[in-house]
Structure 1
Amino acid sequence: MSQAPQDPHGQLHTDTTAMAAIDADAPRPSARWRMLVYSAIGVFMFFVPITVNGVSTIPLDHLVTWVRGLLGPFGRWVGLAIIAAGAVHPFVTGRWRKDATRMVFALLAVLGLVAAVMVMAGVGPFWLLDKNIGPFLLDKLVVPVGLIVPIGGVFLALVIGYGLMEFVGVYLRPAMRPIWKVPGRAAVDAVASFVGSYALGLLLTNRMYTGGRYTAREAAIIAAGFSTVSATFMVIVAKTLGLMDVWLWYFSGTLVVTFLVTAITVRIPPLSRIPDEVAPGVVHHPEQAVTRNRFQVAKRAAEQTLAEAPSLPRNMWINFRDGLVMVMQILPSIMSVGLIALVLATYTPVFAWVGMIFRPFFWALGFSDPALLSSAAATSVAEMFIPATMVADHPDFVARFVIGVVCVSAIIFFSAVVPAILATDIPVKLWHLLVIWVERVILTILLATPLAHLVAAVAG
C-alpha cells in the first residue's frame, strides 16, 4: 500500500487512490446495525441530559446516583475497598520499583489508605476530620469517582468500540488538527470530559494512546487540555459564586476560554516538547487526510473499527476492568495527595506565597483586591472548588466571574486530576503538569477578564 510522506505531525497523508486501496483491503463488518444501535446508546448515556425527580443531568450520572442510593452508607466501604486494593497493587505487581515517581505514589497510596480508615472510624487529628477535608475527599470525590469510572467504562465501550469516534473524527479533523494539534477523534474525548467526567475522559484517552490511535504528545494535550470537570461541577461553582443568573454566559464563556487556553499551551513547552511518538511496542493507527468523499471515508473508517470490535460482553468487560484498575490508582492518591493539598490550602500560607505568581496580572488588569484573587487562583492547584469558596461573597461581579472560569479552565488540581493523569500510561511528568497549570491560570486570567466585563455590561 503506497503512502505519501509524513507531515510534521507524523500523520500520513493519502490521496484518493491510496484511500481506495485501504477500502479494498479492509475487512467488511457483519451486523452493521451495531454501529448505530450501540453508539446511539453510548451517546445517550453520556451526552443527552434528562430530568429525573427534578434533577437534569446525563443518564450515566442518574445511574451512578441510583447506585449510590442503593449502596447508602455502604458506598464508603466500597471506596475503602478500592483504596485498599490500590494501595496493595503496586507492591504485588512490582510497579513501585519502576521509577522514583511510582515509588513515591505507592507510598502515598498507603498514606491514603490510612487516612481513609481514620476518616471512616472518626478518629484522628482535627484537621483530618474537618468536614471540608477528610470527609469531603471521601464523600464528594472518592465514592463518586469510584463508582462512575468502572460503571462509565461499561458504557464507554459503546462510544469508542463500534466506529463512532472514527466517523466523527473524519468530519472534525479540519478543526482539531490545525487548532489543537490533535486528531479529529479527540473531539469525543473533549465532550466526554466536559459533560461527563474527567476520569472517564482520561480512561478514554489512555485507551486510545495504548491502542496506537494517539501519540504521546496528542494524549498529553488531550489529558492536560480537555480533562475538565463536568458541567454538573460547573453548576456547583456557579451557584457558589452567584452566577446562575448568567449561567449560559458562564458555561459558554468557560468552554471558549478553556479551549482557547489549550490552543495556546499546545504551542509552548512543555506540551510542545513531548515526543510525538506512539506507545512503545504499539502499532500506530493515524488518521488519514481526506479531501473529498468525506462521508464515504467516515463510513469506511467506522466500518473498519466495527469489523475489528470484540463481542459486546467482552468489550464491556474489558472497559469495566480497565476502569477498575484506573480507579484503584486514582482513589488512594485522592486521599493522600488531595489531603496534603487541602491541608496546606486551609491551614498554611503556602498558597498565598504561590499566588505571588498571579498577583501582577490581577493588579495590571485593575482588580481592587489582587492579593485575595491571586491566593484564590493559586488554590486551584489543590482542589478546583476552593477558589470559588474564597471569593463567594466578593462584591465585584467581574472578580467572581473570572475566578469561576479559573476553577474550570485551570484543569490541573491535585485532589483528583493530577493523580488520575499520573495513573495513565501517558508519559507526562509531575513538573509538566505544574508548569501547564501556571500557564493555564495566567492565560485564563488574561482571557476571562475582558469576557467578564462584557458579560457585566450585557447582563446589566
Structure 2
Amino acid sequence: MKQEVNITVENTSQINAKKIMKFLIPSLFGIIMFLLPIPYNGTINTPVGVLSERLVSILSKYLPYAVVAITIISAIMSFVAKIFKPKFIMENKLLKDNFTTSHFYLFWRGVGAIIAILVLNKWGGEIIYSMDTGGTMMSLMSTLIVWFLAASYLMPFLMNFGAMDYTGTVLRSLVKPLFKLPGRSAVDLITSWVGNVNVGVVLTREQYDRGYYTGREAAIIATCFSAVSLPFCLVIAAMLGVDTAFIPFYITISVVGIVSTVIMCRIPPLSIIPDTYNAKIGKQIDEVVPEGISKHQWGLQKAIQKAELAGSLKEQILSGTEIFMGIIFSLVPIVIAWGTLALIIATYTPLFTWISYPFGYYLQFLGVEEAFKAAPATLAGFADMFIPAILAANIKSFETRFILGVLSIVQIVYMTEVGTLLITSNIPVKFKDLVLIFIEKTVIAIPLIILMTKLLL
C-alpha cells in the first residue's frame, strides 16, 4: 500500500494546467450538451435535445425514407453475412459487428424491413400502417434516428475525457450505498433521468461494453433511471389534462423513481443478474481512493489519465460512428417489428384488459377511483409509453389520471424503445426479466404514487 501511495503522490504532482484543460474542456462540453437545462419552445430542454429537434424539423420529410433504407440495408446485409460470409464483411470489424447476427434476429430484421415498406407505402391495411400502430412506430423511429445521430457523436465527450471518472471517485460514497452502483454512474443516472430515454440506455450500453459496469449495474441503470425526458413528461401531463399540477407531478415522478429504485436494486430479478463485467473487455474501473490522497486529487488524476488516452478529434468521430451504426442497424428494424406488433395487440385485441384485472382489484383496494377502468393503463405501458395516456385520457377523476400519468413514466420498461434496446444489447437481461421488472415496478410504485398524490394535491 505504501508504494501505491508514493506513486499516487508523484503522479498528482505532475498534474498541470494543460492536462487539466484537456480533461476539463471536452468534459464540460459533453456535460453541457447532455445536461444543461435551457428554455426552448415554452418548456425546458437540453442542448442535445434542441439540436435533435431542429434536425428533425429540417429533415422530417426525408426521415421515413431513411428508416426504410436502414431496415432494408440491415436485413439484406445480415442475410448476406449469414449465408455467404463475404470477406468485405467478415474482415471489416465495423461491418462484422453490425451485420453478423443470430437466426432469431435475422428473422426480425427481415420482418422489420417488410413492415417499414408496408407502412411507408400504406399497404397491407390500416391494422399495419395506421397511426395507432405502424404509423406511430415510423414516426417514432424517424425522430429517434436523429436523436441517435446527435447523441452518438456527442457521447464520446462525456465518456472519453474523464468526466465520469472524476465524478465516479467523488460521488462513489453516495451512489454506492444508495443504489449499489459505481460512482461514475452519477453522470449516467442524471443523463438517463432528465435527457432522452434512448440516449440514457445507449450510454449505459456503451459503459457496460467498455468494462465500466457489471451486468447487474447496467441493468439497474437502464431499467430504473432511463425515464422519458422532462419535455415528454409535460406532453404526458398535457395529454391527461393534469399539466396544471405539473410541479407536484414531476416531484412525484422523482421521489417515486428514487424510492422504488432503492427497493428494486435489492430484490430479484435485478439483484441476481450476474455482477460481472463484459467478458470480452474485463473490469476497467477502479474508484477506490488510496490512502494519503483526497477524493478530489485521486478523481482528477484518474480523469487526466483518461483524457490522455482519449485520442484525436478524428478518433472521437470514429467512436461516434461506431456507436451510431451499432444502434441503427440492430435497433431500428427490431423496434419497427416488435413495436408495431405490440401496438396491434394493444389496439385491436382485449389482451391488456384481460390481464389487467388483478391490478383493477389492487387499485380498488388502495382507494383509486374508477379502478377497473384505469387498470388496462397500468400494464399497457409495457408495449409503448404513449398507450397509458391514451387509455386514461377519458377517465373523469383528476387524481386517477394524475396517478396513471406518473406511473406510465416511472415504469420505464416499454418494448418499443427501452426493452428492445436492452434485449439487443450485450447486457445480460432477458425478456422474462423485463416482464418481472415491469410488474415489480408497477406494484411498488402505485402505493408510493398514491401517497404522494394525497400529500401534494
TM exceeding 0.5: yes
Residue 410 of structure 1, CA deviation: 0.8
Trace 1:21-40 onto structure 2 (pairs within 5 A): 21-22=7-8, 24=10, 31-40=19-28
| Compared CA separation, residues 336 and 238, structure 1 to 2 (3 A) | same
1:333-412 equivalence runs, <5 A: 333-412=334-413
Out of 72, 90, 98, the position equivalent to 1:84 is 72
Residues 175-225 of structure 1 deviation map (CA, whole Å, 9 limit, x = unaligned): 211111110111111211222222221221122112111111111111222
Q: Residue 108 of structure 1 corresponds to which residue in structure 2?
A: 108
| Matched length | 439
- How far, CA to CA, are the matches of 1:204 and 1:115 in structure 2? 28
Cα distance between partner residues in 1 of 2:416 and 2:208: 24
Kindly report which structure 2 residues correspond to 1:27-66, keeping only aligned pairs within 5 A, or say none.
31-52=19-40, 56-66=44-54
Query: 1:107-157: per-residue Cα shift (whole Å, max 9, x none)?
Result: 122111111111111222121122222211111x10111111122111111
Whichever residue aligns with residue 60 of structure 2, its letter is: G
Cα distance between partner residues in 2 of 1:58 and 1:85: 32
Q: Distance in 1 between matches of 2:181 and 2:324?
A: 24
Match of residue 131 from structure 2: 131
Deviates more, 1:402-411 or 1:318-327: 318-327
Corresponding residue number in structure 2 for 1:206: 205
The 1:239/1:52 distance shift into structure 2, 3 A limit, reads closer
> 1:72 is matched with which residue: 60, 65, 75?
60
Q: Is the 8 A contact 1:153 1:316 kept in 2?
A: no
Q: What is the DSSP-based 3-state SS (H/G/I as helix, E as strand, rest coil) of the residue aligned with 1:276?
A: coil
Structure 1 stretch 53-62 or stretch 407-416: which is displaced more? 53-62
Shift in Å, 1:398 = 2.0
The residue correspondences of 1:121-200 to structure 2 (distance < 5 A) are 121-139=121-139, 141-200=140-199
Q: Secondary structure at the match of 1:372?
A: helix
What is the CA-CA distance between 1:438 and the residue it aligns to?
0.6
Give yes or no for contact 1:96–1:106 (8 Å, CA) kept in 2: no
CA distance in 1, matches of 2:413, 2:174: 25
Kept in 1, the 8 Å contact 2:11–2:301? The answer is no
User: Separation in 2 of the partners of 1:382 and 1:420?
Assistant: 14
Q: Judge conservation of contact 1:258–1:408 (CA < 8 Å) in 2.
A: no
Q: How many Å separate the matches in 2 of 1:455 and 1:364? A: 21
- C-alpha deviations, 1:74-119, integer Å up to 9, x for none? 11111222222333354344489999xx533331221111111111
For 1:18 and 1:400, the matched residues in 2 are separated by 58
Q: Secondary structure at the match of 1:171?
A: helix
Alignment of 1:426-437 (within 5 A): 426-437=427-438
Aligned-pair CA distance for 1:17: 6.5
SS of aligned partner of 1:37: helix
The farther-off stretch of 359-368 and 340-349 is 359-368
What SS does structure 1 have at the residue aligned with 2:434? helix
Deviations 1:273-318 (A, max 9, x none): 1111111132312333348612112211211211221212212321
CA gap of 1:145–1:117, structure 2 versus 1, over 3 A, is same
- Structure 2 counterpart of 1:78, which letter? A
Range with bigger deviation, 54-63 or 309-318: 54-63
Name the TM-score, length of structure 1 as normaliser: 0.89
**RMSD of equivalent CA atoms:** 2.3
Distance 1:150 1:23 in 2: 41
C-alpha spacing 1:98/1:364, structure 2 compared with 1 (3 Å): farther
Partner of 1:312: 313
Change (3 A) 1:176 1:93: farther
Q: How far apart, in 1, do the equivalents of 2:71 and 2:413 lie?
A: 22
Q: How does 1:263-302 map to 2 (within 5 A)?
A: 263-290=262-289, 293-302=294-303
| Distance in structure 2 (CA, Å) of the matches to 1:269 and 1:221 | 11
Amino acid at match of 2:190: V
Asked if the contact 1:190/1:226 (under 8 Å) is kept, the reply is yes
Q: Which residue does the alignment assign to 1:12?
A: none
Instruction: Report Cα offsets for 1:384-435 as digits up to 9, x if no partner.
Output: 1111111123222221111111111111111111111112111111111111
Of stretches 375-384 and 352-361 in structure 1, the one that deviates more from structure 2 is: 352-361
Tell me, in whole angstroms, the C-alpha distance in 2 between the residues paired with 1:436 and 1:176. Answer: 21
Cα 1:244–1:188 change in 2 (3 A) is: same
Q: 1:297 to 1:447 in 2, by over 3 A?
A: same
User: What corresponds to 1:447 in structure 2?
Assistant: 448
1:145-171 deviation per Cα after TM superposition (whole angstroms, max 9, x unaligned): 111112211111111111111111222
Looking at structure 2, the residues matched to 289 and 368 of structure 1 have their Cα atoms a distance apart, in angstroms, of: 50
Q: Are the counterparts in 2 of residues 150 and 327 from structure 1 also a CA contact under 8 Å?
A: no
Counterpart for residue 5 of structure 1: none
Q: Judge conservation of contact 2:361–2:372 (CA < 8 Å) in 1.
A: no
Letter in 1 for 2:252: G
Match of 2:215 in 1: 216
The CA deviation at 1:245 is 1.6
* SS of residue in 2 equivalent to 1:289: coil
User: How far is the alpha carbon of 1:364 from its aligned partner?
Assistant: 1.2
What is the CA distance between 1:323 and its match in structure 2?
2.2
Tell me: CA distance 1:103–1:377, structure 2 relative to 1, closer, same or farther (3 Å).
farther
Q: Which amino acid aligns with 1:159?
A: L
Contact (CA 8 Å) 1:326, 1:424: kept in 2 or not? Answer: no
Native 8 Å contact 1:183 1:287 kept in 2: no
* Percent identity (aligned): 27
- In 1, the alpha carbon distance for the partners of 2:428 and 2:420 equals 13
Structure 2 stretches of 5 or more lacking a match? 83-96
Change (3 A) 1:97 1:46: closer
Distance 1:434 1:314, change over 3 A: same
The 1-side partners of 2:187 and 2:308 are apart by 21
Distance in 1 separating the partners of 2:427 and 2:9: 31
**Greater CA drift, 286-295 or 378-387:** 286-295
For residues 205 and 24 of structure 1, do their structure 2 counterparts lie closer, same or farther at Cα, with a shift above 3 Å needed?
farther
Look up the equivalent residue of 2:228 and give its one-letter code.
Answer: V
Distance 1:212 1:266 in 2: 20
